[in-house]
Amino acid sequence: MIQLPEGGNIGAAVNDAMRAIEAANPDLKDVLPKTYNRFENALLKELLKTMNSIPMDIEGDAFGKIYEYFLGHFAMSEGQKGGEFFTPTAIVRLIVAIIEPFHGRIFDPANGSCGMFVQSAHFVAEHQKNPSADLSLFGQEKVSETVRLGKMNLAVHGLAGDIRQGNTYYEDLHRCVGRFDFVMANPPFNVDRVDKDRLKDDPRFPFGMPRTDNANYLWIQVFYSALNNTGRAGFVMANSASDARGSELDIRRRLIEDRAVDVMVAVGSNFFYTVTLPCTLWFLDKGKRSTDRADKVLFIDARHIYRQIDRAHRDWTPAQIEFLANIARLYRGDDPENLHDSAALMAEHFPEGVYADVPGLCNVAAIADIEAQGWSLNPGRYVGVAARAEDDFDFKERLEEQNEELEILNAEGRELEERIAENVLKLLETE
C-alpha cells in the first residue's frame, strides 16, 4: 500500500487490507475498523510511511507495547468513558503478581480491553514459560466496541481467547460456576438498578441478594463462584465495599467465614483516569483453606507507596509492584522475587527475609480479630500507622499527607451522604 499513488483511494485499500487480515484470522472476524475512507489521503499516506519505518524483525512484543501505549493515552484523554475499558497497567500488574496465574483457565467477566489477560501473559513469559500454551482466556464484556478493542489487544500480543459480548449480571455465557483457576476484574463500582428478580435462582450468587440498590456484592459473588476449589481471584473494588453494612456485611462475613478472603490491599488516590478516589484490591484464594493461612487475612496499606506521574496521576514503579507482591509471597511462605530490583525495599522492611507485621504497611489478622472489627476488610483498621522519629518530621510532607487523607475522607463522606439520601427517598416512596 505504500506504493499507492497520492490520487488513489488509499482509504478503500486500507479497508480491503483489514478484511484480508480478518479472513486470515478468524478470531478477528468483524473486529477491525473498516472506515478508513473517512480520512484524507495525505493523513493515511503519512500513517503508512510511519508504519513502514518499523522493522518487521523487531525483537519482543513491540506492536503489543505500541497498542498498550496508545490505549492508555486514549483512555486518559477520554476521562470517564476511558475508565470503562482500561484499567491502569500498574494496578493490573499488581493483581497478576499476587495471584500468579502461571497456568490454567483465566476468567474476566468485565474484561474491557483485555488488559488483565495481556499482563497475565507478560507475567508467564517473564517467568520463562509459554503463555499461549499455558493459559486459556475467557472474557465477557457488555459493550460491543469494547469487545473489539479487547480482541485487537489480544491479537497484537499474539494471544487468543474466548471473548463474548453480554451483560454479566443477567447472562452467564461461560457457565462459570466452579470452572476457573483464576479470576481477575475491574468491574464498574456502585452500579444501581440491577433487576435482582432475574437473579433469584442464579447459582452464581450463593450468599444471596444484597438488599441495597448496589451491585458491588453481586460482582464479588460472581468472582467467588467462578473459582474452582483451589482458584484465586484478584479484583478492584470501591473502598465503601470493605465496610458496607446491612445485608452486604452479612455477605462479607460469610465470605470471610468460608476462608476465601486472603489478601486486601488499600490503594491511594489518583491511580485511575476517571476518578481521584482511592480503591481496594481484593484477593480470594479457595486453596488457602488447607493451609496455615486458613484463619488469617493479610492486610496491606499501599496508599503511601506510589510514583507521581503528573499532578493528577500516580502509578507504581516495577520495583514497588514487586515489593508489594513479595509481601504476599512472604505471607504465603514463598520466596520473594527480585526481577525488578525490589531487593532494597525488601531489605528495608523485611531484613530477616521472612514475613513480619510492619506498622503502617502490613498486618496479618485472625478471623477473630476481623469479627471484633465488625467484619471490616478495610486495611487501615488493622495496619496502623508507621512510627516516625521526631527528627524525621517534615512539616510540608506531613501537611500534604493529612490534606490528602482529608480529601479522601471528604469524598467518601459525600459518597455515603448520596447513598443515604437515595435510601431515604426510596423508603419515603414506599410509605
Question: What is the CA angle 395-396-400, rounded to 5?
Answer: 115
Strand, helix or coil for residue 73: helix
Q: pLDDT tens track of the chain, all 431 residues?
A: 777 776 778 889 989 988 998 898 888 888 888 888 898 888 888 888 887 887 766 655 566 667 767 776 666 665 544 445 578 889 999 999 999 999 999 999 999 889 999 999 999 999 989 998 999 999 999 989 889 989 988 988 889 899 999 999 999 999 999 999 999 999 999 999 999 999 999 999 999 999 999 999 999 999 999 999 999 999 999 999 999 999 999 999 999 999 999 999 999 988 887 667 789 999 999 999 999 999 999 999 999 999 998 888 899 999 999 999 999 999 999 999 999 999 999 999 999 999 999 999 999 999 999 999 999 999 999 998 876 655 555 666 667 667 766 766 776 677 677 778 777 877 777 66
Write out the three cell numbers for 162.
Answer: 474466548
pLDDT attached to residue 25: 84
Verdict on whether the full-model pTM lies above 0.85: no
The string of DSSP codes covering 130-174 is -HHHHEEEEEEES-HHHHHHHHHHHHHTT---EEEE--TTT--TT
pLDDT attached to residue 47: 85
Cβ-contact 233, 284 below 8 angstroms: yes
CB within 8 Å of 134: residues ≥ 6 apart: 102, 103, 104, 124
**What percent of the chain lies above the pLDDT cut of 70?**
87
Strand, helix or coil for residue 111: coil
- With CA atoms as reference, report the closest residue to 105 among 208, 3, 174: 174
Cβ-contact 72, 315 below 8 angstroms: no
Cβ-contact 162, 138 below 8 angstroms: yes
Burial of 97 (0-12, 13-18, 19+ CB in 10 A): buried
Give per-residue pLDDT as tens, 146-201: 899 899 889 888 898 999 999 999 999 999 999 999 999 999 999 999 999 999 99
Residue 310: φ, ψ to 5°: -150, -170
Question: Look-up: residue for cell 489480544?
Answer: 154
pLDDT attached to residue 363: 98
What are the sequence ranges of the domains in the chain?
A: 10-53, 67-383, 395-430
Helix axes 246-257, 216-226, angle to 10 degrees: 20
Candidate CATH numbers 3.50.50.60, 3.40.50.150, 3.40.640.10, 3.40.50.2300; the one for domain 67-383:
3.40.50.150
Average pLDDT, the chain: 88
pLDDT attached to residue 24: 87
Instruction: Give the type of residue at 18.
Output: M
Beta-carbon neighbour count of residue 397 at 10 Å?
Answer: 10
- With CA atoms as reference, report the closest residue to 98 among 328, 289, 351: 328
